[in-house]
Amino acid sequence: MNDSNIDISVVIPFLNEEESIPELLAWIEKVMLENNFSYEILLIDDGSSDRSWKIVEENSSRNPRVKAIKFRRNYGKSAALNVGFHAVVGKVVITMDADMQDSPDEIPELFKMITEEGYDLVSGWKKKRYDPITKTIPTKFFNAATRAISGIQLHDFNCGLKAYRNEVVKSIEVYNEMHRYIPVIAKWAGFKNIAEKVVQHRARKYGSTKFGGISRFINGFLDLLTIFFVSKFGKRPMHFFGVWGTVMFMLGFMGALYIGFEKIYLVYRGDIVPRNITDQPLFFLCLVSLIIGSQLFLAGFIGEMISRNATERNVYGITKRLGLEG
């Protein structure tokens, strides 16, 4: 099959899912055949220690549409998705988890929303979940925080079941724990036509969750702040550090002037013995403000120099060309 004619690429990161992989692949193949889709399935083994890779090899030899990449060790879901995004060629790219909690029956509707309704990205919303309350409450909190910071009105940013136009996955980079904020990354890369679809959340059939843990919420929130800062000020760090550095420096400077003029005034009057400047708490606050302001300004200046010498500083998301090659 010509790779350029592939309708759908399904990207599935997994870690120790030997029980679920055969059933999941059979289900996806059934959906694809019923809808007459041309497709490829790309599985990324994130350092499995069970028989998962052996099972993938067996399925790949039986069905050439099943492709796979194996990591030498566990790098995390973001790394797996990033590698998968670079490798796929389908017009529509669909991601799902390997634990059978995402239903392949959602694929035709997701494909339609991308190809016929013109969305750049469609994110699944598991409105009815089968997770413990210790997971659902923190998830609701971080979804609310992400909505507030990004302005994207999605209920479930971290749903593994998503659909993308091919151009979207080729234009973004996913690393650390940022797979939960792919809609945010896509929006700030210029893909703003983002939608949401209620999808089925199935109870886990085999084993236990492999990607997660309490630390993922803390790391995820820090990654969200990183995405926000880099997207807003990555190309112009002086606009952040310079502004706040100037504000802090001016506050300290004006405070120091006030202390100095107050001392001169009291000495001139002569009827009041003024305190030493260094005996006043305000003096030390002004001194700290001056130092912090200077450091912030220098940080912005250094960041600006680094940004201006970066090779990718003038890379833009060009969507169309007229009368030009390439």
72 domain residue, yes or no:
yes
Looking at the structure, tell me whether residues 114 and 256 fall in a common domain. no
pLDDT in tens, the chain (326 residues): 556 689 999 999 999 999 999 999 999 999 999 999 999 999 999 999 999 999 999 999 999 999 999 999 999 899 999 999 999 999 999 999 998 889 999 999 999 999 999 999 999 998 877 666 666 777 788 788 888 888 899 998 889 999 999 999 999 988 877 888 899 889 988 899 999 999 988 776 666 665 555 566 666 677 777 777 776 776 778 888 888 999 999 999 999 999 988 888 888 877 677 778 888 889 899 999 999 999 998 988 888 787 666 555 544 555 555 445 54
Last residue of a domain, one of 184, 208, 233: 233
CB 194 within 8 A of CB 121: yes
Looking at the structure, tell me whether residues 242 and 134 fall in a common domain. no
Q: Look at the chain and count its residues.
A: 326
Q: How many CB atoms lie within 10 A of CB 291?
A: 13
Q: Which of 213, 215, 224 is nearest to 146 (CA)?
A: 224
162-165 and 121-125 as β-strands: parallel, antiparallel, unpaired?
antiparallel
317 domain residue, yes or no:
no
How many CA atoms, within 13 angstroms, populate the side-chain half-sphere of residue 43?
30
Looking at the structure, tell me whether residues 71 and 41 fall in a common domain. yes
172 domain residue, yes or no:
yes
Looking at the structure, tell me whether residues 218 and 244 fall in a common domain. no
Looking at the structure, tell me whether residues 209 and 272 fall in a common domain. no
319 domain residue, yes or no:
no
C-alpha 133/C-alpha 151 separation (Å) is 26
C-alpha 184/C-alpha 6 separation (Å) is 27
Looking at the structure, tell me whether residues 70 and 101 fall in a common domain. yes
Looking at the structure, tell me whether residues 208 and 268 fall in a common domain. no
Last residue of a domain, one of 199, 233, 267: 233
CATH number at residue 92: 3.90.550.10
Looking at the structure, tell me whether residues 281 and 173 fall in a common domain. no
Looking at the structure, tell me whether residues 194 and 302 fall in a common domain. no
CB 21 within 8 A of CB 58: no
320 domain residue, yes or no:
no
Q: Looking at the 3D structure of the chain, how many domains does it have?
A: 2
Element (H, E) at 167: helix 166-171
Looking at the structure, tell me whether residues 159 and 79 fall in a common domain. yes
CB 126 within 8 A of CB 162: no
Domain, as residue range, for 254: 238-308
Looking at the structure, tell me whether residues 168 and 58 fall in a common domain. yes
315 domain residue, yes or no:
no
326 domain residue, yes or no:
no
The amino acid at residue 138 is: P
Looking at the structure, tell me whether residues 227 and 98 fall in a common domain. yes
Supply the pTM of this predicted model. 0.74
